[in-house]
Each structure stands twice: as structure tokens, then as C-alpha cells.
Amino acid sequence: MTAPLRLGTRGSALAMAQSGQVAAALTEATGRQVELVEVVTAGDRSSAPVHRLGVGVFVSALRDALTARTIDLAVHSYKDLPTAAAPGLHVAAVPPRQDPRDALVARGGRTLAELPPGAVVGTGALRRIAQLHALGLQLEVTPIRGNVDTRLARVLGPDADLDAVVLARAGLARLDRADVITETLDPMLMLPAPAQGALAVECRADDTDLVELLAMLDHAPSRAAVIAERALLATLEAGCSAPVAAYAELAEGDAGDEIYLRGAVISPDGTRDLRLSRTGTPADAAEIGKALAAELLELGADSILGHEGNAGPGTQQFGSTE
């Protein structure tokens, strides 16, 4: 009998949920059995703020396990992956993307506009902190860490100390917790992180049989959107301290499918907010992202980014989907 495929995953409830969903889809599509193998990453062991953890902290241990052949494939939250390719590894599938928008969970069922001045809002991402400040709502924004349940407890639990939290809608949906969302935030207000809501299924590039097998899970529109968003991020060379946002949507145009990409670079205090958009074909997804990044740089994005603590091309600013 064929041995089960060993799927490496982080041990958080969200990581296990999304890995389990990929495992089930793979078994359904191919008939191959899949077993989950928990891998502890440096990000899981640290309590430091997400933006100070460095590049690839949620993925390096999984990639090491792939290289060491202790697992056959790994599932990542795509926004955790550094933009530089990993030698010898290949993202063989991008399954259909969950809704990439951010979500607000607030006491009393409030929306963002209903929060009073001085309300304390928690989030783990500088991108969200910057955009909340840019809205000018006089909110007090505080950085937080922890898994989804930990963050929700700070608003909904008996010892709640926050008025609201902002999380990725995709994570709540994958955990069947979308019922706690009080507002799904319009991208015009809160542009998502590049690749938010998308998963990356990675394996060794030389495992050609598995590469071919995993391709059955690939969703071309989701992959094209992610390619455009991450090309923008890579071209900006955004480091761990840079709030960068991007959101690509595919729609039917006059001459076939088109990508509509929006990108933003926002100063942490929200006082500088550059936003642009660009369209093109899915086949040109990477070039669309690069071109939009170049336009943002021409408008002064470089001075906002500052590249403080930048590790160069291929760095990634975002932490776990949680």
C-alpha cells in the first residue's frame, strides 16, 4: 500500500484547520491519504510583536523539514512566505482563496464607524495599525499577539480589555468563527496584506510526482492574484517595519479576464498614505505588480518605507494569518 503523504503544519488551531482542509481536498481529488505532522516554528516560540520577529519565522522550520525529507509537503498562510524563492522548493498549489478582507470584532456589535473616540482597538499588523490611524477616527490602536481565540477573548471574554480587534476574515471563516464578525471591512478603508486569505502548498521541486499531484488543487485565479500582490511587495523591497497593502481582483473585461490591483504604502502614524491601482491580464500578473510598485516609488513610497531594518529583496513584513 502507498504510504500516507506527510503534511507539515504549525500547531495552532488555525494552521491545523487550514492544513486539514487541504489534506481533505487532496484525498478527495487524488485518493491519497494524508497525515498531519506538527512542526514548531520560531514564531510560535516567541512572544515578541509580529513585526519584530524577522523574515520567515513562521515558515523556516517547515521548509527545513521539507529539505530534511521528514515531511512531504507543507501548508503555509501565503502571506507568511518571504517573497524570495526557497532553493529546491516549489509552491505546487494555491487552492481557492478565502475572502482576503479584514474583519472587525467589536463589543456591542459595533461597526468601525460606531466606535467612540478613544476606543481601544487591538491588531498584530503594522499595516492595519497604519490604516486605522489614517482613517482619523481618534481610536487608540494597540499591537497584540496570540492565536485567534486569545485575541477574541480580549474583546468577548470575561476579562476583556479591548473595545475591538481586527483580524483576517479568512482565519475566522476557516475556524467557523465568522459569526463573531461585527463588520467585514471594505478594502477602501482597510486594504489587505499581499496574499491574505491564500494558502501555499509547498513541496520539494524534485518530487515531480507530488508536484503533478498537488497541481490538482491549484486555482489559477487565486494564483494570479497572489502573484500580482507579491510582485508589488517584492519590488518595494518592503522590510519588517513597512506597512504595505495590496489587493488584486479578477473580473471579466471586454477582451477577457482582467486583474485589477490596488496597492498602498502608509506611514505607521497614518499621516502619509499613498494608494494607486493598475489593471492588466492574468498572464501579466507579475508585471502589473512590479509596475504599480514602481509608480508608488515614484510618488515617494521609498521615503515612507525608509527600509529601516530591511533585509533586502525577498523580505516579508507580515506575520501569521491569525
**Residue 203 near residue 287, CB atoms below 8 Å:** no
Which strands make up the sheet holding 5-9, listed edge to edge?
34-38, 5-9, 73-77, 199-204, 89-93
**Residue 160 near residue 154, CB atoms below 8 Å:** yes
Cell of 145: 499577539
Phi, psi of 55 (to 5 degrees): -85, 135
| Cα-based distances in Å from 234 to 144, 193, 194, 229 | 26, 13, 10, 9
Pairing mode of beta strands 102-106, 164-168:
antiparallel
Options 72, 80, 163, 207, the catalytic residue: 80
* Catalytic residue check, 159: no
Determine the residue type at 114. Answer: E
Residue 179: partners with Cβ closer than 8 Å, 6 or more residues away = none
Burial of 257 (0-12, 13-18, 19+ CB in 10 A): middle
Hey, which residues are catalytic here?
Answer: 80
